[in-house]
């Protein structure tokens, strides 16, 4: 099967590499020449564990190539995947479909035979039908079907998720397209991973409903965490006790500084807008968005209390800036709300992150980057754990405390405990939803 993959971001590159590993012939396209040059040199423009080795293996096998020339990639392709960005449209919160529609138009103009045009980008209900219209208008002769194939991979575990998915969702309008999609995913089908075949609208909706549900679960536990702080309960014990219930499950029940990342904030917002458009308001999702914003702001208040009411003149070491561990992605990370508040309040901020510096340097002006947590903590008034990278999960807390001017910690991922902190000599320790010492 010959596949063209339009967009080589977190989703397009992982999908392209994995499809080539299935044995398909894949050409990945990006309009960013710097990305394609890197890929052609065998370098991966993003940080995703395991991706570089799998990419090199398939390039060497001759199944995977890269180009900026969309026409060349589409020529002879039996399936063309659209995996371009769908960020929040400025001003109104809708998903911005400019990149999707531009790609669709260009694909239509360059199709040379029948192909299935598969939207992998997360797009609101109705978009696949619009893609079809845009393509038919751009080239009335084009012979194609559209398919919706939303992606559920998680950054940081993307290859594992792609190769061993909980399910693959495929929305189609006819059997011809369904057959092409079945052929593409045959290796997963043979290994009995569930493939859910639906109409276009249901496939589009599944993606938003799933993301909104996960964002709700996180926000729910964050709100329970706040109440735990007031009543003297411990959110870790509460989460454990809840999560062991099979109907609830233990995933996405960890309290923290609010969800971020490249998907939940924009997808919850886009779903809320779709609900408004159809006069079927997503009231739960709208509340989740509001509460999540409040949670991030509440973290700033927590830090301010820890530092005696003001950031001014304080030195603060921030451990972790990416939106979660094992990725370099900074999109909508809680750090983008919290760190500027510290800097704006007059603090001297030092940041450490195993992969965040490349993106973070431009996004977090005024901070000093360090590569070692103990060095970052030297003479500091507080340490803040914002992302639970493994590097920050087994710190020598005694050593850390000794380096600091005043040993205080805000553990916003609940990695340690008040007991650990006290034993190590911390004079103040705050976390999320548990006992604190201030
Ligand atoms: P990204 O911003 O990392 O990558 C998009 C890429 O598309 C960029 O490299 C850009 O240069 C390229 N591009 C844009 N227009 C193009 C065109 N006309 N021709 C060729 N290349 C073009 O985005 P991403 O994180 O990979 O997300 C892509 C889509 O997948 C989004 O809709 C997102 O919501 C969805 N998604 C993302 C994740 C995730 O974890 N990142 C997970 C599931 C779904």
Cα separation, 227 vs 115, in Å, equals: 54
Which ligand 1 atom lies nearest to the CA of residue 46?
A: 3
| ipTM passes above 0.95 | yes
CA-nearest residue for atom 29, ligand 1, is 121
Give pLDDT, residue 351: 98
Q: Hey, whose CA ends up nearest to atom 34 of ligand 1? A: 122
Q: How far is CA 251 from CA 30, 206, 214, 217, 284, in A?
A: 34, 19, 9, 9, 20
Task: Give the pLDDT score at 91.
Answer: 87
Atom of ligand 1 nearest to the CA of 121: 32
Going by CA atoms, what residue is nearest to atom 30 of ligand 1?
Answer: 121
Catalytic status, residue 28: no
Ligand 1 atom 3: the closest Cα is on which residue?
Answer: 9
Which residue segments constitute the domains of the chain, with CATH numbers given?
Answer: 2-198 (3.40.50.720), 202-438 (3.40.50.720)
* Residue 438 pLDDT: 85
d(CA 194, ligand 1 centre) in Å: 25
Please give the number of the atom of ligand 1 that sits closest to the Cα of 32. 11
Q: Which residues approach ligand 1 with their CB closer than 6 A?
A: 6-12, 29-32, 35, 70, 83-86, 99, 102-103, 121-122, 151, 153, 155, 262-263
What count of Cα atoms within 13 Å lies in the side-chain half-sphere of residue 36?
16
* CA of 182 relative to ligand 1 center, distance in Å: 23
Mutation choice for ligand 1 from 38, 260, 262, CB with most ligand atoms inside 8 A: 262
Alpha-carbon gap, residue 270 to 92, rounded angstroms: 9
Q: Which of 18, 28, 228, 263 is catalytic?
A: 263
pLDDT in tens, the chain (438 residues): 999 999 999 999 999 999 999 999 999 999 999 999 999 999 999 999 999 999 999 999 999 999 999 999 999 999 999 999 999 998 899 999 999 999 999 999 999 999 999 999 999 999 999 999 999 999 999 999 999 999 999 999 999 999 999 999 999 999 999 999 999 999 998 999 999 999 999 999 999 999 999 999 999 999 999 999 999 999 999 999 999 999 999 999 999 999 999 999 999 999 999 999 999 999 999 999 999 999 999 999 999 999 999 999 999 999 999 999 999 999 999 999 999 999 999 999 999 999 999 999 999 999 999 999 999 999 999 999 999 999 999 999 999 999 999 999 999 999 999 999 999 999 999 999 998 888
Residues 6+ apart with CB under 8 A from 254: 218, 221, 239, 413, 414
d(CA 94, CA 150): 18
Q: What does the angle CA 17 – CA 174 – CA 21 come to, to the nearest 5 degrees? A: 15
Q: Which atom of ligand 1 is nearest to the CA of 158?
A: 40
Residue 289 · residue 282 · CB < 8 Å: no
Residue closest via CA to ligand 1's atom 25 equals 10
| CA–CA gap between residue 253 and residue 228 (Å, rounded) | 14
The alpha carbon of 99 and the centre of ligand 1 are apart by a number of angstroms equal to 9
**DSSP designation for 24:** -
In whole angstroms, what is the distance from residue 266 CA to residue 277 CA? 16
Atom of ligand 1 nearest to the CA of 155: 40
Nearest CA among 32, 27, 42 for reference residue 9: 32
d(C-alpha 161, C-alpha 157), whole Å? 6
Phi, psi of 136 (to 5 degrees): -65, -35
**Which residue's CA is the closest to the ligand 1 atom numbered 18?**
103
Q: Which of 85, 157, 166 to mutate to test the pocket of ligand 1 (most atoms within 8 A of CB)?
A: 85
Confidence at residue 42, expressed as pLDDT on a 0 to 100 scale: 96
Q: Does residue 350 contact residue 370 with C-beta atoms inside 8 Å? A: yes
């Amino acid at each position: 099967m010959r596949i063209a993959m339009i967009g080589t971001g977190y989703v397009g590159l992982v999908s392209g590499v994995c499809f080539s590993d299935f044995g398909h012939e894949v050409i990945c396209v990006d309009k960013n020449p710097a990305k394609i040059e890197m890929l052609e040199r065998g370098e991966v423009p993003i940080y995703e564990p395991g991706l570089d080795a799998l990419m090199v293996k398939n390039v060497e096998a001759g199944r995977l190539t890269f180009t900026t020339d969309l026409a060349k990639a589409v020529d002879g392709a039996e399936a063309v995947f659209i995996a371009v960005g769908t960020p929040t449209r400025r001003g109104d919160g809708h998903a911005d479909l400019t990149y999707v529609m531009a790609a669709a138009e260009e694909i239509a103009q360059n199709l040379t035979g029948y192909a299935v045009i598969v939207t992998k980008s997360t797009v609101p209900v109705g978009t696949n039908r619009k893609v079809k219209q845009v393509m038919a208008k751009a080239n009335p002769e084009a012979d194609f079907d559209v398919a919706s194939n939303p992606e559920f991979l998680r950054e940081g575990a993307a290859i594992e998720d792609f190769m061993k998915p909980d399910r693959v969702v495929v929305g189609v309008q006819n059997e011809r397209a369904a057959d092409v999609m079945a052929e593409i995913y045959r290796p997963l089908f043979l290994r009995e991973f569930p493939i859910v075949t639906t109409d276009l609208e249901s496939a589009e909706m599944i993606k938003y409903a799933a993301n909104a549900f996960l964002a709700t679960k996180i926000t729910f536990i964050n709100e329970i965490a706040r109440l735990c702080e007031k009543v003297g309960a411990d959110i870790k014990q509460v989460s454990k006790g809840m999560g062991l219930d099979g109907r609830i499950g233990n995933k996405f029940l960890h309290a923290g500084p609010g969800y971020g990342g490249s998907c939940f904030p924009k997808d919850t917002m886009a779903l809320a807008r779709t609900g408004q458009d159809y006069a079927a308001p997503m009231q739960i999702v709208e509340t989740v968005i509001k509460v999540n914003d409040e949670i991030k702001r509440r973290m700033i208040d927590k830090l301010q209390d820890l530092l005696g009411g003001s950031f001014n003149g304080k030195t603060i070491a921030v451990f972790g800036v990416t939106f979660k561990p094992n990725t370099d992605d900074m999109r909508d990370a809680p750090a983008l709300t919290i760190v500027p508040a510290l800097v704006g309040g007059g603090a001297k901020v030092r940041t450490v992150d195993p992969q965040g510096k490349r993106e973070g340097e431009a996004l977090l002006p005024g901070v000093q980057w360090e590569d070692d947590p103990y060095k970052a903590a030297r003479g500091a008034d507080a340490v803040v754990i914002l992302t639970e990278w493994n590097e920050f999960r087994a710190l020598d807390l005694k050593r850390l405390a000794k380096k600091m001017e005043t040993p205080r910690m805000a553990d916003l991922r609940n990695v340690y405990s008040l007991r650990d902190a006290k034993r190590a000599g911390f004079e103040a320790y705050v976390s999320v939803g548990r006992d604190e010492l201030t």
